[in-house]
Amino acid sequence: MIQMNQFKDIQKLIRLTGERAKLDAKVNETYIVYKTEHGQIVKEYNNGNVIPVPEKDGSHA
């Protein structure tokens, strides 16, 4: 069983990884891809635009 401190550490690591991905996308003038809490895959550009990815679109891979 994962202890509460380990769970918080994992949550922090996930958050920091996402923040790093956003910084890398900004530097490289690209976007990040992630799944929303509603299950939709989206591309988020460094200007704040969030574009849903169609199910058949493989360009996020």
Q: Residue 25 pLDDT more than 80?
A: yes
List the domain range (segments joined by +) for residue 25.
Answer: 4-52
Considering only residues 61 and 4, tell me which one the structure prediction assigns the higher pLDDT. Answer: 4
27 found inside a domain: yes
d(Cα 22, Cα 7) in Å, to the nearest integer? 23
DSSP state of 11: H
Q: Is residue 9 part of a domain?
A: yes
Map residue 17 onto helix, strand or coil: helix
Flag whether pLDDT at 14 surpasses 90. Answer: yes
30-60: per-residue pLDDT in tens? 999 999 999 999 999 999 999 999 987 555 5
In a domain, 59, yes or no: no
Residue 61 lies in a domain: no
Residue 27 has pLDDT above 90, yes or no: yes
Q: Is 60 domain-assigned? A: no
Domains held by the chain: number? 1
Residue with tokens 């591309």: 43
Whether 24 is covered by a domain: the verdict is: yes
